[in-house]
Amino acid sequence: MSPLVDWVLGPYEFEFMRRALLVLIVVSIVGGVVGAFVVHKGLAFAGDALAHSTLAGVSVAFVAGMNVSAGALAAAVLTALGIGWTRERARVSYDTAIGILFVAMFSIGILVLSTRTSYTPDLFSFVFGDILGVSNSDIVGALILGVGVLLFVVAFYRELLFVAYDPQMARTVGLPARAFEYALVALVAVAVVVALKAIGIVLVNAMLIIPAATASLLVTRLQQIMLLGVAIALTSSIVGLQLSFHASVATSPAIVLTGCVLFVAALGWQRWRGRTVVAPDAPAAA
């Protein structure tokens, strides 16, 4: 084998690397698709809040001896619904509502953890991500949730697009716009949980934002942003995984930083193209 092929394929002789690759493929597809909505509906802060809120579910489930991923999912979905509810009911801004729920859930997590005196590596794998420790059941869980998210987006693509663009008109034709607004935040919550074990609470939001933001620099339609976002997420995941293996550093920051490099490259490409081409897409006069 040539050294390059060995460099690329060698790591996958290890089962933990094959598992990592598998879970990253699921994370990339879900992140690219859901991320398009996160970036274009201003849900970046909500995504971060949902990620941090999972600490409450993780720690409670851990202390109670229940399934930790199920705890994370419950906490994220509850927080998603809470954000929607607070947005409607409380006379505070959306950002403020998210900010309050975020710190409340995170505080519950820290409080519960503080009752444990011994070091709990299982929990810290959720905070910083532990892609090489992903188990088969983690993969199955991510697959089930990921397929659920994708099915929902494909099934209700027209509704999600309509409500995102013009919720008022959507209501006038009898579309339950509010339900779909809740559903969208819930989708973000599930997407966060899909990536949580692999990437970790602190960095998981990057998997939703960076690929979609990078794709948005290059293409303009929602479907294109989703597809290119998935491709960009896969690229940064695989390159990041590879680099971290050979450099013996943590994987999730390697993936995130690879994504950031791609973002900067896309930004450069976009500006270069904007300067050299006589803007083909410039708005024509009315």
Point out which residues bind another protein (CB under 8 A). 36, 40-41, 154-156, 158-159, 161-162, 164-166, 168-176, 216, 220-222, 225, 281-286
Based on CB atoms, which residue is closest to another protein, 118 or 172? 172
Based on CB atoms, which residue is closest to another protein, 121 or 280? 280
Helix 177-199 / helix 251-276 crossing angle, nearest 10 deg: 120
Residue 121: CB partners within 8 Å, gap ≥ 6?
none
How far apart (Å, rounded) are the C-alpha atoms in residues 91 and 207? 31
**Least gap, CB of 282 to another protein (angstroms):** 8
**Least gap, CB of 281 to another protein (angstroms):** 6
Q: Where is 249: in which H helix or E strand? A: none
Based on CB atoms, which residue is closest to another protein, 70 or 222? 222
The DSSP symbol for 285 reads: P
Based on CB atoms, which residue is closest to another protein, 16 or 156? 156
**Least gap, CB of 206 to another protein (angstroms):** 20
Q: Rg of the Cα trace of the chain?
A: 20
**Least gap, CB of 39 to another protein (angstroms):** 9
For residue 28, what are its two tokens?
A: 């990339």
Based on CB atoms, which residue is closest to another protein, 183 or 201? 183
Instruction: With CA atoms as reference, report the closest residue to 76 among 117, 111, 38, 106.
Output: 106
Based on CB atoms, which residue is closest to another protein, 84 or 200? 84
CA distances from 220 to 114, 215, 227, 281 (A): 47, 8, 11, 10
Residue 189: CB partners within 8 Å, gap ≥ 6?
50, 73, 76, 77, 79, 80
**Least gap, CB of 227 to another protein (angstroms):** 12
**Least gap, CB of 149 to another protein (angstroms):** 15
